Chain A
């Protein structure tokens, strides 16, 4: 398969199938309906199964059960649906079950609207569900990255026995772009019988039980220590970030997803005017790319965070830079994205200070 023009949601779905995902559990919600629709049409062709759940609550728990077999399973939803899944995501993390969750983010809060947003940043990176747990959160900025990160998500989920979220905003889901979708090298990776359910015979009669319940404090704290050790390994090995024209920048834009795409155009235009503007683009929203932020050059005087929300990533940038730089914010909500001109104007305003 060469490069083909595809819609983001359909590219994500095909990428998942090419990553060996044969089981999809979902519930309709705009703007991600093409993913379950694509899966319902194409999974049977590869011997897979699409199940339409009665709610997002049910679909995430079907993912919990499906993932407990060790095979590649996924669900997709959009912001209010992810809120409903948050309980299940916490259990999946607590039970150490691999799963992939795609969030085609829309504007909130509450029912909000069906237009694009990035206002689930804090929900995705700081919890959502109860307890000390973390997801790996991947934020694509192009449709090719939607494909690549979706396939990576399955590898990371199995590697760490942890839920992985692809946090794609509504623009990523609904725009069209040329993509190349290749079968993932790990497409036929078998379930790991050492822990997965359904392999008691293969384990010589030794059972496996997956649970997050530990009523006594000692084993629960021990379980938490084990989880934190795993999250530490993720922080050490899985940070991903793109630095664009950062080497001599005086003003650095911090942005991800569609806002990074818009910011890239602003950087190009401002560079053409001779203004030294660069961009730092977290690809993993969790683990946050602290290592890349440590490489920010001494030429940088200001950082501008740009998002389609009210400033949810600002604190992470301040922490990642040790508050050494003035950090300002420009964002839009309600389904608007900042325009290239709006970001350029904000950059000019900051550079003129």
Chain B
């Protein structure tokens, strides 16, 4: 009788380490998907990650690949430097929405506009997690945060930014897609997108970004299951899933 393997930790997940993420946080799922893709593509020894500032700042504690820290928002510039000197390596950034869409908006736009052959995993949970639930550029209208306690007001705070749609207006970036980790059926698609975004870089095709709609039950003030339900009912209508660019 042949042995059936039902579960194993990814090889590129740091051995004997558990994450610090809150129950119901999407980071753990997204991290695992990245690790699975790195394993499946056989690129663990050739991958250099760039860590953000935010809840995922210590991503290098969980992923067993070369890793470089970046100042808040600057990961695409750090990745540009890495990839310029080592075009033979697989360079990716993993950034949250405060990091990428607020303080680092300049760096992501220009890295995309140069068509840098890097991979960007962009976690959008519509809030600042690590600092304790402040309004993010992606916070929905009416959504409460510690710095918009009455809910986000477009007249005062502007509108939540749809990063993927905006970057897709540029001619240079190759692959831009939005996925979520809210349910298993979406997670399967999210993994396919992340794998494609890394495969694109392996093939030298150019800039790829996967926006992952994720949850922050702690700062949303919800239980984990409620949080994923809210993600589907409130975030997904404003941030629709799908490909915005695929080398077209």
Contact = CB atoms under 8 A, between A and B. Distances in A.
Interface string B92-107: 0000000000000011
Interface string A62-103: 111111110101000000000000011001000100000000
Interface residues of A, number: 40
Contact of B66 (A59, A64, A91, A198): A198
B170 interface: no
Interface of A: 22-23, 25, 49, 51, 53-55, 57-59, 61-69, 71, 73, 87-88, 91, 95, 197-201, 205, 207-213, 215
Contact of A54 (B44, B84, B107): B107
Contacts of A63: 81
B9 interface: no
Contacts of A215: 58
Interface of B: 44-46, 48, 50-51, 57-58, 60, 64-71, 74, 77-86, 88-89, 106-107, 109-110
17 contacts: A25-B84, A57-B77, A58-B74, A62-B80, A65-B81, A65-B84, A66-B84, A69-B82, A69-B86, A73-B81, A197-B68, A198-B86, A199-B66, A200-B65, A210-B69, A211-B60, A213-B58
Given A57-B77, A57-B106, A197-B82, 8 more contacts: A49-B84, A49-B85, A53-B80, A61-B70, A65-B50, A71-B85, A88-B71, A210-B69
Nearest 5 pairs of A and B residues by beta carbon: A65-B81, A66-B81, A61-B77, A62-B81, A65-B78
Nearest to B67: A209
Contacts of B50: 65
Contacts of B82: 65-66, 68-69, 197-198
Contacts, number: 133
Contacts of B89: 197-198
B78 A64 contact: yes
Contact of A51 (B65, B80, B86): B80
Contact of B84 (A23, A208, A212, A213): A23
B191 to A, nearest CB: 23
Contacts of A212: 69
Nearest to A55: B106
B115 to A, nearest CB: 12
A62 B84 contact: yes
A65 B71 contact: no
A58 B85 contact: no
A321 B58 CA distance: 46
A211 B85 contact: no
B104 to A, nearest CB: 10
B84 A61 contact: no
B30 to A, nearest CB: 19
B71 A73 contact: no
A210 B81 CA distance: 14
B107 A61 contact: yes
B68 A65 contact: yes
B85 A91 contact: no
Given A61-B81, A68-B81, A91 B71 contact: yes
Nearest to B109: A54
Contacts of B66: 197-200, 207-209
A68 B91 CA distance: 12
A346 to B, nearest CB: 44
Contacts of A208: 66-67
Contacts of B64: 207
Contacts of B46: 200-201
B84 A67 contact: no
Contacts of B88: 198
A59 B76 CA distance: 11
A187 to B, nearest CB: 16
